[in-house]
Amino acid sequence: MPGNLTFDDLKSRVTDGAIDTVLACFVDMQGRLMGKRFHAVNFIETSFAETHCCNYLLATDLEMATPDGYASTSWQSGYGDYVMQPDLATLRLVPWLEGTAMVLCDVLDHHTHAPVPHSPRAILKAQIARLEALGFEAKMATELEFFLFEQSYDDIRKSGFRDLQPISGYNEDYHIFQTTKEEGIMRPIRNHLYAAGLPIENSKGEAETGQEELNIRYSPALDCADYHSIAKHAIKEIAWQQGRAASFLPKWHHDRVGSSSHVHQSLWKDGEPAFFDPDADHGMSTLMGHYMAGLIKYAPDYTFFLAPYINSYKRFAKGTFAPTKTVWSVDNRTAGFRLCGEGTKGVRVECRIGGSDLNPYLAQAAMLAAGIKGIEDGLSLPPATTGDVYEDAKAQDIPQTLRAATQTLRNSAFLREAMGDDVIDHYTRCAEWEQEEFDRVVTDWEIARGFERA
């Protein structure tokens, strides 16, 4: 990933006092940045080579609990260390934090220094390597949708997450006047991220009150995932600095439209778009047809990597621009997969299934694996679906619950072949734990519905 600091730049800025803190971060299963704050002098003298972290950090949930059932780490094995190896090519400024730089780390086995196979960055790198062996490079872009709220994170938590107030009062999709009112937050987000070396394109209002979207330029797949993770982290920090809260929860209210993370993708060969054939229907090459056929056929298998929590599935609803069917269509936002850039060199496929809570490394890796499988098996792309896909009774449904997606993940021979049994078993356990934690909780809805009338 192209950072905007070389190691020599960092050393110079540490010497002159401009930088005193280096964030050494890796991405956990939930897509969050985890790591340490180094005194910059220590980092440039010793820790630039490696540091360590507890191996439970790739076997936790959102609450940082330590569930049982993971083969890689447990109380029985004593929770040992992983190596965090800074990828110095990702060094960058963190302009929204004073005197701070950041580097992303790969997670390695403490004894062998081999990549930890269930580390999200390693999972994506493995699929990129498979694609490179076929002679292709993947380019991708993710759309980050989120809600801004009037209150701060602390105020919302202290209120029990009740009476949430979005920052605007009406649907602000592409609405310049309403988004002008939010520039106190969105302008620093755009400018700080650009100054951190992320190729920011734009921000816009999305199709709900208080909903925003940030778009980052199309990039090589690993860069895309790195950009997404840094941007999501920065959005939360910058909103917090302004006394507001940003949430990437896909469905914060049952009457509100949810937040997605659409993923645009195409393959390139020798610097040229391999998905483009000017003489073919829609400008789609035969290769693109095979790739898309794989995406569609195996979508149920990898849905967990696009929708990893109970709440993720509340977003899949008719008439909300969130898809419910695993079919493709030409520039049609009711389908799970949308053909964009029809007839041009920019022809690409947009997966619309993923929610704002996805881990971009896992989502991109799973889709690359499905696309590779489609290419290897020469799968045929079914005809495009037209009209209102929500009403297409013949189209295959996206798994509608976490329980269903866990089952398709567990039983996926294709993903086990592409990623390995250990990786799929690891994330199956992650999915099972989310379901177990939800199943034991009595919700407010149950109490209000049945307390008197049951």
Instruction: Name the strand (E) or helix (H) holding 203.
Output: strand 200-205
* Per-residue pLDDT tens digits for 200-217: 999 999 989 999 999 999
Instruction: Name the strand (E) or helix (H) holding 433.
Output: helix 421-439
- The SS3 of residue 130 is helix
Q: Which domains does the chain have, with CATH numbers?
A: 7-114 (3.10.20.70), 127-445 (3.30.590.10)
Judge whether 73 and 79 are in contact, CB under 8 Å.
yes
pLDDT on residue 326: 85
Please state, in angstroms and rounded to a whole number, the distance separating the CA atoms of residues 259 and 322: 9
pLDDT for 437 beyond 70: yes
Residue type for position 323: P
Q: What are 219's strand-pairing partners?
A: 140
Number of Cβ atoms within 10 Å of the Cβ of 308: 28
User: What do you get for the CA distance between the two ends of the chain, in Å?
Assistant: 57
232 band by pLDDT with thresholds 50, 70 and 90? very high
Number of Cβ atoms within 10 Å of the Cβ of 270: 8
* Per-residue pLDDT tens digits for 47-89: 999 999 999 999 999 999 999 999 988 787 778 899 999 999 9
Which of 297, 302, 324, 294 has the alpha carbon at shortest distance from 409? 302
* Per-residue pLDDT tens digits for 150-201: 999 999 999 999 999 999 999 989 999 999 999 999 999 999 999 999 999 9
Which of 58, 116, 56 has the alpha carbon at shortest distance from 85? 116
Judge whether 27 and 33 are in contact, CB under 8 Å.
yes
* Per-residue pLDDT tens digits for 353-393: 999 999 999 999 999 999 999 999 999 999 988 888 787 77
Tokens coding 128: 């990129």
Tokens coding 41: 């002098």
Tokens coding 404: 């269903």
